[in-house]
Structure 1
Amino acid sequence: MSEIEILQMAAPAAQALLACMTSDAWQAAKSKFAALLGRNNQVETEILENDLEEARVRIMQNPAEHEAITSEVWKARFRQALLANPDMAQELREILREFKDQEPNSSRGIHQSVVARDSSIVFQQGSGVQNYNNSPGSNA
């Protein structure tokens, strides 16, 4: 496995891991990623599970501050593991397929369409708070 192939696997693995940290799949993902990186060594796996949980806590507390660095740290760990054990690549692919739905994907998007007729009022919003006041005397 070439260095380029390893990098091409390490980056998506780190992205998938971070996506799982903020999803309902976290416990299963944590166990599988830790077992993979620990090569099923119980002590190593427990250490990795603790490291992963600490990373998740930081991400949950302040994603803007910790997301990029956490991604880089885990990308480096995946890279090191793949360099040391190229045979783990297939198992990593299987784990990534399993947790693929947790990843943010720019090709998936939200599609909204609205048809308004006559004197209808339509509001569309992707996120945030929307207030509408149509009480008598308002200019809405």
Structure 2
Amino acid sequence: MEPVVLAAGTALVAAMASDAWEAARGALVDLWRKGKPEEAEAVGNELQRARTVALESRRTVDPDAEQALIGFWRMRLDHLLRERPDLARELRGVLEDDLVPTLGAGERDRATTLLGRAEAHDHARIYQAGRDQHIHGG
């Protein structure tokens, strides 16, 4: 599964409990409208039902329900990108522009640690690691 799918699924479910939910939902429906327009309305309805479950899982402190939602939406997004790989860049845009900004700091960290992003120019070097990194020599 693509890292952007993992991060987007996590951020999406976290965004369901935010005040900016309608904008986040709209961005996802728009993505579906571009990729599989015949499913866009149904996805919008699924997202609304999922929000009810997400809010209830937060109210009752049920992390298993929240994890199940994350897994479900990761699978839905993965399926969309498998059929329409050209939408990967747009999904990243939805993640960065519409989902992540709705999250609190802890949830933002949880979603974005699944992504690595680096940009180098000219003679720059980038070293990225998911954990410890030791560079020797010079």
TM-score norm. by structure 1 comes to: 0.65
Please report how far the alpha carbon of residue 41 of structure 1 lies from its aligned counterpart in structure 2 after TM superposition: 5.6
CA deviations over 1:13-70 (Å, ceiling 9, x no partner): 1011112101111001111112212436655211111000000001111231420100
Counterpart selection for 2:31 from 36, 61, 73: 36
Question: Structure 2 CA distance, aligned partners of 1:40 and 1:79?
Answer: 12
1:90 corresponding residue in structure 2? 89
Question: Structure 1 CA distance, aligned partners of 2:67 and 2:81?
Answer: 21
Please report how far the alpha carbon of residue 12 of structure 1 lies from its aligned counterpart in structure 2 after TM superposition: 0.3
Per the alignment, do residues 61 and 42 of structure 1 end up closer, same or farther by CA in structure 2, a change over 3 Å counting? same
Report the structure number with the largest CA radius of gyration. Answer: 1
| 1:115-134 paired onto structure 2 within 5 Å | none
Please report how far the alpha carbon of residue 106 of structure 1 lies from its aligned counterpart in structure 2 after TM superposition: 4.0
- SS of the residue corresponding to residue 62 of structure 1 reads helix
CA deviations over 1:85-127 (Å, ceiling 9, x no partner): 01101111111111322341348xxxxxxxxxxxxxxxxxxxx
**Size of the alignment, in residue pairs?**
102
Give 1 or 2: higher helix fraction: 2
Q: Which runs of 5+ in 2 are unaligned?
A: 111-138
TM-score norm. by structure 2 comes to: 0.66
- Higher RCO, 1 or 2 (CA under 8 Å, sep at least 6)? 2
